[in-house]
């Protein structure tokens, strides 16, 4: 067996951390990216990264970080990986700091920390409001150094199309497409790490995700047999600003630093928000959740905004403001803009805070809001609404539990292994850490941590590998290359009337309206048939582009087709789960906490019993497997070894 | 369609647009000039004139398109609209315009291009603020891949040349933290760590180009950043030597275009000034010994 070679797909935080870990174990890495490495969506993360350093004298503890993460995810995540992630978080921060990441500082020159959602302690390290960008650049610089040392070879402008499996079903390489020459080529590898990020583009344009966060790569390995878990759990970030082309994130740190969410008490109040007196404002999060206030977890905040705008009719944002222009003569006027849409927003207010403080701590989002909305959040409240943000679900990955610690066994080749031998997954494309709802600032942590763990696991896997990819017959690679080239040919030659970009928009509209913040089984059935209908229309594709060089329509059409497959997994998984848990909210099955009742009250205890009975039925991981007719949905138990579900989530 | 008469090389080497033109609308960042309600803007038809090129060696040509720009529209959103229905102003169906974009909130650096003669990210270039017809061209100084896509490999090669990283023992936790950094030093460093390698400063720099060896302002700013880090300081001499060689710091002609076009307002010329002092000290050290 020649020197092992590993392929990493994706140059965001997860992929770069995996690359570092594999290269440091002495193996060479080929790093595939759709674009220049450093432009990945990790750069968009703003608010921070969680690690218990207890810089603020609040007696924060790793144990509390673990509990917050478990409960934030409604107990749905396996607990050993959460335990290990939280335990390793301080060490990750130390390593980032050594890399030169410009974390914000206290007057003593130490790491500053701030408050985030679903948490009572200041636990979030940050670099202004561009933390993801800073962390990404930190590892990007290290990988660039390894590149100069010959340890890492970058394949930029290549799109992953499929894995190549040997006769035993072991992953032995990939087939990828050069996005310039459109060449389809096979690459042998002894192990493959998928770090392809999230899938928010399935909700485009009402998503905070970058346009390359399509989920297509994860969908491709799912269609090749990798299991996909908890697909119904998708996070809608409560505070995003409306835009025609995308919804731009306004970090949760805005609330962590003291920002307040409100609407006018009188829905007909048309005064400028700054002129509405305090007594005529409804601070609904503070009112409904006095303990956590504006920093309730995201699923709770998004549903509260939904309730205020959709049920109570108290939303702001009148026709005539910039967001409402879509009812004009634009090409999209016909299908967009239901009557209520323009009043879906609520205020996120920073104007009561010290201007210098806000500028230092949140400068990056102030700049985004000024540039894209033309309003300075220091002078007027921002108008925000929930938007598709983060996939808690993803490729199913394994772990080995350490019997002595209860966490993940360090260096086990099982950690972050998908259900296909030799294929690993890390970062947002896996499902491992966040259960039914992710806590803010836990994603930069899980992306970094899981990348490193996956890299270490690959190193162990390689040391136990008896036969390398070199021994695999060339015919297997040639066959898969031919299959992928055939798909390109078919799409290029199709001569119908369906534009791939328009099909993508229809997909986004369908998912936004039918598989969104609030779900209903009839709507989910309609979503499933709608998705199949869009998929069928691919038979009548018109690529609209004939170029054989850098043909972006071809790459996009392939992505949309794979997004449709993944969207079906999401809808089918949501259909199968008849309960409310975290981000998955089906009102028909809601077990609401009795209002004004707390532990000890008979009504609350009755509720607790019902909640436990519901857990007995539904506290299980959803696992989808690909089948030509559609996804097969099954369930598997969750490891609750650390914290058994005795306490319902309660942020009041 | 209008034939392109100048060659790409001529375009690259032509004296860059007057400094006054090189200022994208940074004024809007203050927010003061804009009222919150843009109802008056409304949806309007705009003309895009796009400099196209089918491949790296193909001849460039111009095409015009007329599009509905909804309020709040930006260049990226218009180009996205164009993908669905790419017909020129004269009614000819053509291949969609190739362009790069990703984050659409000015943090990934992908979508930089020349907009009305100014290098800037296309996502934050709002139509309402642009003179029409709007001219779109690929970012100059870099080889064109297709249409508005360019190859910025040169930029990343320069980052390698100046060793723009902190040399650590390894990306494992050794239970040590980096030394303390004062909030004042942090604030100065943070300005530079936000560089997203979009290439606008290089596009605007008269000294940077395919025929010139100049390392360019983006990488110089990273030298400034890395040299300021308590650990990065260990390799300070090496980085300074890299920029004291041919095509280094002394090739800067002080045109100050870079700092005018930087979408992140990174004080590039301040960095260059600081490095001038650092290299002077380094030259003396080299002469008289010591590090």
Q: What is the largest CA-CA distance in chain A?
A: 75
Under a CB-based contact definition with an 8 Å cutoff, are residues B147 and B172 in contact? Answer: no
Q: What is residue B1's predicted lDDT score, i.e. its pLDDT?
A: 37
Tell me how far apart the alpha carbons of residues A621 and A479 are, in angstroms, rounded to a whole number: 35
CATH fold of A245-325+339-387, please? Flavocytochrome C3; Chain A, domain 1 (3.90.700)
Nearest Cα neighbor of B1 from B116, B84, B93, B138 is: B93
Coil, strand or helix at B111? coil
> Which has the closest alpha carbon to B202: B155, B165, B237?
B155
What domains can you pick out in chain B, each with its CATH number? 2-150 (3.10.20.30), 153-288 (1.10.1060.10)
Q: Given this model, what pLDDT does residue A339 score? A: 37
Over residues B197-221, the pLDDT tens digits come to 999 999 999 999 999 999 999 999 9
Which alpha helices (H) appear in chain B, and where do they start and end?
A: 8-13, 75-84, 153-161, 183-193, 200-204, 217-228, 236-244, 257-261, 268-288
Residues of chain A numbered 593-652 and touching chain B (CB < 8 Å): none
In this prediction, residue B43 has a pLDDT band, given cuts at 50, 70 and 90, of confident
Q: What's the pLDDT tens digit per position in A205-257?
A: 999 999 999 999 999 999 999 999 999 999 999 999 988 789 999 999 999 99
* pLDDT score recorded for residue A23: 97
Q: Average model confidence (pLDDT) for chain A?
A: 95
The answer to whether residue B51 scores a pLDDT higher than 70 is yes
Cα dihedral angle (A27, A31, A36, A38), rounded to 10 degrees?
-60
Hey, is A477 helix, strand or coil? Answer: helix
> Contacts of residue B177 in chain A, CB cutoff 8 Å?
94, 97-98
Q: Rounded CA gap, A590 and B269, in Å?
A: 59
Residue with tokens 């004139």, as numbered in its chain: B49
> Which CATH code for domain A488-609?
1.20.58.100
Give pLDDT tens digits for A515-548: 999 999 999 999 999 999 999 999 999 999 999 9
Q: What is the pLDDT of residues B101-145, one digit of tens each?
A: 999 999 999 999 999 999 999 999 999 999 999 999 999 999 999
- Mutation target for A interface from B27, B72, B127: give the one with most A CBs within 10 A: B72
Model confidence band, residue B21 (pLDDT cutoffs 50, 70, 90): low
- Name residues whose C-beta falls within 8 Å of residue B30's C-beta, 6 or more positions apart in sequence: A370, A376
Between residues B71 and A460, the one the model is more confident about: A460
Provide the residue ranges of all domains of chain A, joining segments of one domain with +: 5-233+392-471, 245-325+339-387, 488-609
A298 is catalytic: yes
Token pair in block for residue A429:
């494309």
Q: Please tell me if residue A545 touches chain B, with a CB cutoff of 8 Å.
A: yes
Residues of chain A with Cβ-Cβ distance to B171 below 8 Å are 17, 20-21, 24, 95, 99, 139, 142, 452
- Residue A419 C-beta-side C-alpha neighbours within 13 Å: 18
Question: What's the pLDDT score for residue B291?
Answer: 57
Contact pairs from chain A to chain B, CB under 8 Å: 258
pLDDT of residue A1: 58
Structure confidence at residue A375 as a pLDDT band (50, 70, 90):
very high
A22 pLDDT tier (thresholds 50, 70, 90): very high
- pLDDT tens digits for A335-369? 333 333 478 899 999 999 999 999 999 999 999 99
User: What are the pLDDT digits (tens) for A460-504?
Assistant: 999 999 999 999 999 999 999 999 999 999 999 998 999 999 999
Query: What pLDDT shows up at residue B289?
Result: 83
pLDDT given for residue A327 in this prediction: 29
- For the segment A582-611, what is each residue's pLDDT rounded down to a tens digit? 999 999 999 999 999 999 999 999 999 999
- CATH no., domain A5-233+392-471: 3.50.50.60
Asked if pLDDT for residue B28 goes beyond 70, the answer is: no
Give the 3-state DSSP-derived string for A26-77, with helices as H, strands as E and coil as C.
CCEEEEEECCCCCCCHHHHCCCCEECCCCCCCCCCCHHHHHHHHHHHCCCCC
- State yes or no: ipTM above 0.90: yes
Mean pLDDT value of segment A125-150: 98
Q: Given this model, what pLDDT does residue A336 score?
A: 36
- Among candidate residues A172, A220, A260, A298, the one labeled active-site is A298
Asked if the model's pLDDT at residue B258 lies above 80, the reply is yes
The CA distance from B70 to B49, in Å, is 18
Task: Specify whether the backbone of A61 is left (phi greater than 0), alpha (psi in -120 to 50) or beta.
Answer: beta
pLDDT over threshold 50, residue A70: yes
Residue whose C-alpha is closest to residue A421's, from A392, A457, A473: A457
More confident residue, A104 or A495: A104
What percent of chain B is predicted at pLDDT more than 90?
A: 82
For residues B108 and B88, the answer to whether their CB atoms sit within 8 Å is: no
Judge whether A626 and A419 are in contact, CB under 8 Å.
no
What's the pLDDT score for residue A330? 31
Q: Which of A44, A546, A553 sits opposite B107 (nearest CB)?
A: A44
């Amino acid at each position: 067996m020649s020197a092992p070679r590993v392929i990493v797909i994706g140059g965001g935080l997860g992929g770069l951390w995996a690359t570092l870990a594999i290269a440091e174990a002495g193996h060479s890495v080929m790093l595939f990216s759709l674009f220049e490495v450093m432009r990945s969506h990790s750069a968009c993360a703003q608010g921070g990264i969680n690690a218990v350093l207890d810089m603020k004298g609040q007696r924060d503890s790793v144990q509390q970080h673990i509990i917050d993460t478990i409960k934030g995810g409604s107990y749905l995540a396996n607990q050993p990986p959460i335990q290990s992630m939280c335990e390793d978080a301080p060490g990750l921060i130390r390593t980032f700091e050594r890399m030169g990441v410009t974390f914000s500082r206290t007057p003593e020159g130490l790491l500053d920390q701030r408050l985030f959602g679903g948490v009572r302690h200041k636990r979030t390290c940050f670099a202004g409001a561009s933390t993801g960008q800073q962390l990404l650049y930190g590892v990007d610089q290290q990988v660039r150094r390894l590149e100069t040392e010959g340890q890492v070879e970058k394949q930029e402008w290549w799109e992953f199309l499929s894995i190549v499996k040997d006769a035993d079903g072991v992953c032995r390489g990939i087939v990828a497409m050069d996005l310039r020459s459109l060449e389809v080529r096979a690459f042998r590898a002894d192990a493959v790490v998928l770090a392809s990020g999230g899938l928010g583009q399935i909700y485009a344009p009402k998503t905070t995700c970058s346009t390359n966060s399509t989920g297509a790569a994860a969908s491709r390995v799912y269609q090749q047999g990798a299991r996909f878990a908890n697909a119904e759990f998708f996070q809608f970030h409560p505070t995003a600003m409306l835009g025609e082309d995308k919804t731009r994130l306004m970090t949760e740190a805005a609330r962590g630093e003291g920002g307040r969410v409100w609407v006018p008490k009188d829905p007909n109040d048309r005064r400028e928000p700054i002129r509405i007196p305090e007594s005529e404002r409804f601070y609904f999060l503070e009112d409904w959740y006095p303990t956590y206030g504006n920093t309730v977890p995201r699923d709770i905040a998004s549903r509260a905004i939904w309730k205020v705008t959709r049920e109570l009719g108290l939303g702001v944002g009148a026709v005539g403001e910039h967001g409402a222009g879509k009812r004009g003569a634009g090409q999209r006027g016909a299908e967009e803009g239901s009557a209520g849409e323009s009043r879906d927003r609520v205020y996120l207010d920073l104007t009561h805070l010290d201007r210098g403080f806000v500028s230092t701590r949140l400068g990056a989002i102030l700049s985004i809001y000024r540039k894209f909305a033309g309003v300075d959040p220091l002078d007027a409240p921002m108008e925000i609404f929930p938007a598709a943000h983060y996939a808690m679900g993803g490729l199913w990955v394994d772990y080995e539990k350490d019997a002595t610690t209860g966490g993940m066994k360090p260096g086990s080749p099982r950690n972050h292994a998908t259900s296909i031998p030799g294929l690993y997954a890390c970062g947002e494309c896996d499902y491992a850490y966040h259960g039914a709802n992710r806590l803010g600032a836990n994603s930069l942590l899980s992306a970094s941590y899981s990348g490193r763990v996956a890299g270490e696991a690959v190193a162990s896997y390689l040391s136990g590998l008896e036969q390398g990819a070199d021994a695999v017959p060339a015919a297997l690679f040639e066959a898969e290359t031919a299959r992928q080239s055939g798909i390109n040919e078919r799409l290029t030659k199709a001569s119908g009337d369906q534009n791939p970009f328009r099909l993508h928009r229809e997909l986004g509209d369908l998912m936004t309206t039918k598989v969104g913040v609030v779900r209903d089984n009839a709507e989910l059935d309609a979503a499933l048939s709608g998705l199949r209908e869009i998929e069928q229309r691919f038979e009548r594709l018109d690529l609209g582009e004939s170029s054989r060089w850098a043909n972006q329509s071809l790459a996009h059409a392939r992505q949309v087709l794979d997004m449709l497959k993944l969207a079906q997994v999401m809808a089918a998984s949501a259909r199968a789960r008849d309960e409310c848990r975290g981000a998955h909210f089906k009102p028909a099955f809601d077990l609401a906490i009795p209002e004004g009742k707390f532990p000890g009250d008979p009504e609350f205890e009755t509720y607790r019993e019902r909640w436990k009975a519901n857990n007995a039925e539904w506290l299980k991981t959803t696992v989808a497997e690909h089948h030509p007719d559609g996804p097969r949905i099954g369930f598997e138990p969750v490891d609750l070894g650390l914290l058994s579900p005795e306490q319902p989530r309660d942020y009041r | 369609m209008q034939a392109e008469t100048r060659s790409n090389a001529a375009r690259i080497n032509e004296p860059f647009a007057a400094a006054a033109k090189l200022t994208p609308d940074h004024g809007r960042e203050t927010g003061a000039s804009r009222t919150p309600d843009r109802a008056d803007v409304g949806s309007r038809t705009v003309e895009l004139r796009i400099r196209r090129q089918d491949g790296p060696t193909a001849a460039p040509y111009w095409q015009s398109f007329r599009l509905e720009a909804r309020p709040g529209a930006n260049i990226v959103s218009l180009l996205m609209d164009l993908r669905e229905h790419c017909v020129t102003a004269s009614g000819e169906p053509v291949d969609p315009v190739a362009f790069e974009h990703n984050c659409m909130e000015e943090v990934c650096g992908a979508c930089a291009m020349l907009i009305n003669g100014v290098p800037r990210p296309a996502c934050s270039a709002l139509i309402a603020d642009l003179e029409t017809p709007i001219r779109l061209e690929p970012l100059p100084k870099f080889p064109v891949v297709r249409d508005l896509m360019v190859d910025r490999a040169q930029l990343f090669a320069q980052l390698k040349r100046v060793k723009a990283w902190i040399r650590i023992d390894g990306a494992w936790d050794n239970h040590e933290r980096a030394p303390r950094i004062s909030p004042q030093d942090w604030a100065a460093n943070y300005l530079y760590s936000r560089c997203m390698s979009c290439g606008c400063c290089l596009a605007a720099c008269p000294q940077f180009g395919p025929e010139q060896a100049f390392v360019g302002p983006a990488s110089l700013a990273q030298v400034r950043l890395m040299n300021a880090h308590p650990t990065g300081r260990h390799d300070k001499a090496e980085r300074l030597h890299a920029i004291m060689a041919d095509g280094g710091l002394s090739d800067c002609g002080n045109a100050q275009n870079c700092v005018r076009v930087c979408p992140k307002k990174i004080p590039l010329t301040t960095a260059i000034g600081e490095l001038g002092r650092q290299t002077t000290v380094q030259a003396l050290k080299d002469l008289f010994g010591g590090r």
